[in-house]
A and B are shown apart, each in its own frame.
Chain A
């Protein structure tokens, strides 16, 4: 383990507050956990050197280098973390009826007990950086939607980091029965920094969550986090994850079908250039019958970038009549780029319909030539070809404003990539 980590843990051991019961559990679990190496299956392709090397101490102040992204027409309530500190003044926000947002540290003891009962109950224990987050977070932002309430504006959770920052953020989102909510998580910053950002979502019976995670930290920002979902009966989850890659970016996603007839859809796409790395581990647990899961993952890796995708669907013995599909298509733009993909289906029930597939293709040189032969520049042709590959998933984003915001960024990133 690295020095900052040991220090951080030592510090955490001395803290005593309402979160202590969970913190102590995490610390004792961490004591038993071996620090992952390349021999650890879940970290086989992803080196933790950037974490180990990280030696920055927390910066004195937040530098306003980056600010909130402007998204035209996107109606949202902003909840902002700067270098891990929650800086939104909740008293200033006008919340629609049925939506409550609070910091657990400022809630009454009954609420804190409730939060403690849910904290880390959705995020599985096996994620090392999840445990670290458990141990290091100082507070939990709690978002709750009452039964039968549809919240119109989206909630945008932004985590911005400046140089040398170290940040650990934690959010708990609870949707009551028949509730509806859109949450968009944004991770920004490209300076040398380190963050763990975990969000747990409890989606009640017949509730619907529209979810986005824009893991857009680039450059030297080390980002380790996860979005974890638990679905009750007939709950509906539509999730889109977009990744840009940095020295080290890792996202863990867990979707647990806890109630029957739930529906989970996740589209994920990442675009990597230079020496960027992006690693997504997504696990779906079908614990009960009649669940449906659809996953589409598309990856483009150029130059010497490295992509890792591990998609596991675990269908338990009782989860009869499960429908699960995992589709992963990848495009390599250079022969030094790397895409490591591992779809895993683990099925213990005998009456299920499951499919999975993964393909890795190089850019179609015939198509490039064909387009060039019509006068289209090679660079433009690449953009068009790649865009076709990803555009399908952007088209499927339920929120048009977010899709329109994302498209030009994708075009821009594509246009800088080269076929080698």
Chain B
């Protein structure tokens, strides 16, 4: 890599000149983003701009290759790490389409996740009884019936239940940086409030959020410090919360000189 990055300890997430492709198609074409502790950044943009790709590349999904650039999480270059190591370093991606895993109970999955992360930090495992208490509390907080802990991971959950399950995982894992990938899609207004309350309860001076969304609506509940427009693989405009309102009113066309049709990422 040509450009060297000086370690910026005051940022929780620093993405510099990130270029990434999937199936030999370039999706990210020089993404820059700097997120300081406690900040909430919203990423908006048209379909195919690379919003979901950003989350997949950062979290280490197979099939996405990084051509150029860097991504530091709390000073650690995560792009060389395995997906599980990135999670243990404090990254959390709330999936747009959470995966169903029949045969593995939600509770078993949650405990294995928390145990793995605690172990990586050199902390002891939580006893099953103590963990059950924590899990029940998180389950209640996102308004899911306790029976959902015993069901297969996301198995047969509705769209909204899956999203609440993502937030429940976030509550238990206590990550440093949370990327919410269209967590508002497919949610009715009640579920949206539950999700937003879950997120807001976790806002703190040492945790940051990157909220990827199509709609201004979510940002009424989760107030962003910054709003960025991602188009054709890079940030084309940044501003404060008022930018989201502007986009809502005017769409994205005025920001995009290029008429390239992006693919669905």
Q: How far is the CA of A369 from the CA of B102 in the complex (A)?
A: 15
Q: Is A367's CB within 8 Å of the partner chain B?
A: yes
Report if A373-B104 is in contact (Cβ < 8 Å); known contacts: A380-B112, A380-B116: no
With contact pairs A372-B82, A388-B104, A392-B103 given, residues A377 and B61 touching in the complex (Cβ less than 8 Å): no
A369-B83, A380-B112, A384-B109 known; A375+B117 contact, CB < 8 A: yes
Known: A370-B98, A384-B108. A391 touches B83 (CB 8 A): no
Contact yes or no, B82 A378, CB < 8 A: yes
* 14 A–B contacts from the bound complex (CB under 8 Å): A369-B61, A370-B95, A372-B60, A373-B59, A373-B61, A374-B169, A376-B84, A378-B82, A384-B108, A384-B109, A385-B101, A388-B152, A391-B103, A392-B103
Proximity string of chain A (352-371) to chain B, C-beta cutoff 8 Å, 1 when within and 0 when not:
00000000000011110111
A369: B residues at CB distance < 8 A:
60-62, 83, 99
Question: Counting CB contacts under 8 A, is B87 at the interface?
Answer: yes
Apart from A372-B84, A373-B61, A374-B113: 9 A-B pairs, beta carbons within 8 A: A365-B62, A367-B100, A373-B60, A375-B120, A378-B84, A384-B112, A387-B103, A388-B104, A392-B103
**Which A residue sits closest to B169, measured CB to CB?**
A374
A74 located at the interface, meaning its Cβ lies under 8 Å from any Cβ of chain B in the complex: no
Contact B101 A374 (CB under 8 A): no
Whole-angstrom CA separation of A370 from B101 in the bound complex: 9
Q: From residue 81 to 113 of chain B, which have CB atoms closer than 8 A to chain A?
A: 82-84, 86-88, 93, 95, 98-104, 108-109, 112-113
B229 interface contact, C-beta 8 A: no
Contact B87 A375, beta carbon cutoff 8 Å: yes
The reply on A389 being an interface residue by CB < 8 A is yes
Most B CB atoms within 10 A — which of A364, A373, A391?
A: A373
How many chain A residues have a CB neighbour from B under 8 Å? Answer: 22
Name the CB-closest residue of B to A384.
B104
Residue of B whose beta carbon sits closest to that of A365: B62
The answer, among A372, A377, A378, A388, for a CB contact under 8 Å with B103, is A388
Query: Is chain A's interface secondary structure helix, strand, loop, or mixed overall?
Result: helix
Check A376 against B102 for contact (C-beta < 8 Å): no
Residues in chain A near residue B112, CB distance under 8 A = 371, 374, 376, 380, 384
**B173 interface hit (Cβ, 8 Å):** yes
Q: Which residue of A lies closest to B108 (CB)?
A: A384
Residue of B with least CB distance to A374: B113
Could you tell me the distance between the alpha carbons of A369 and B99 in the complex, rounded to whole angstroms?
A: 9
Given A380-B112, A384-B108, A384-B112, CB of A372 within 8 Å of CB of B87: yes
| Closest Cβ–Cβ distance, residue B59 to chain A (whole Å) | 5
In the complex formed, the residue of A with least CB distance to B120 is A375
| B-to-A contact residues, CB < 8 Å | 59-62, 82-84, 86-88, 93, 95, 98-104, 108-109, 112-113, 116-117, 120, 152, 169, 173
Known: A384-B108, A388-B103, A392-B103. A374 touches B87 (CB 8 A): yes
B contact residues around A384 at 8 Å (CB) = 104, 108-109, 112
Cβ contacts under 8 Å, B84 to chain A: 372-378
Q: Which residue of B lies closest to A383 (CB)?
A: B112
Task: Give the distance to chain B from A299, nearest Cβ to Cβ, in Å.
Answer: 15
Cα distance, A119 to B120, chains bound together (Å): 61
| Residues of A with C-beta under 8 A to B152 | 388
Q: Smallest distance from the beta carbon of A304 to chain B beta carbons, Å?
A: 22
Chain B residues with CB below 8 A from A372, complex form: 60, 82-84, 87
Q: Bound state CA distance, A373 and B113, in angstroms?
A: 9
From the candidates A366, A375, A388, A389, name the one contacting B99 in the complex (CB within 8 A): A366
Give the nearest-CB partner of B104 in chain A: A388
Which 10 pairs from chain A and chain B are nearest by CB? A388-B103, A374-B113, A372-B83, A375-B87, A370-B99, A375-B116, A375-B117, A372-B84, A388-B104, A367-B101
- Name the residue of chain A whose CB is nearest to the CB of B83: A372
Q: What CA separation (Å) do A377 and B93 show in the bound complex?
A: 16
Chain B neighbourhood of A387, CB < 8 A: 103-104
Which residue of chain A has its CB nearest to the CB of B113? A374
A377 to B87, CA, bound (A): 10
Once the chains are docked, how many angstroms separate the CA of A364 from the CA of B169?
21
Contact status B116-A373, CB under 8 Å = no
Task: State whether B103 touches A389 (Cβ < 8 A).
Answer: yes
Chain B residue with minimal CB distance to A390?
B103
Docked CA distance A318–B64 (Å): 60
CA distance A372 to B116 in the complex (A): 10
What residues on A are CB-neighbors of B109 within 8 Å? 371, 374, 376, 384
